[in-house]
Amino acid sequence: QVELVESGGGSVQAGGSLRLSCPVSVYTTYCLGWFRQAPGKEREGVATIDTDGSTSYADSVKGRFTISKDNAGNILYLQMNDLKPEDTAMYYCVARIDKAYGGSPESLVPPLDDSSYWGRGTQVTVSS
Given pLDDT bands bounded at 50, 70 and 90, which one contains residue 2?
A: confident
pLDDT value for 36: 98
**CA–CA separation, 80 and 63 (whole Å):** 10
Residue 1 confidence (pLDDT) above 80? no
pLDDT value for 79: 98
Express each pLDDT in 81-122 by its tens digit: 999 999 999 999 999 998 899 999 999 999 998 999 999 999
pLDDT value for 26: 87
Residue 11 confidence (pLDDT) above 80? yes
Residue 73 confidence (pLDDT) above 90? no
Q: 101 Cβ partners below 8 Å, 6+ apart?
A: 31, 50, 54, 107
Express each pLDDT in 41-67 by its tens digit: 999 999 999 999 999 999 999 999 999
- Pairing assessment for the beta strands 55-57 and 75-80 based on DSSP bridges: unpaired
Provide mean pLDDT across the span 9-22.
98
pLDDT value for 72: 86
Q: Specify which residues 32 forms β-bridges with.
A: 49, 95
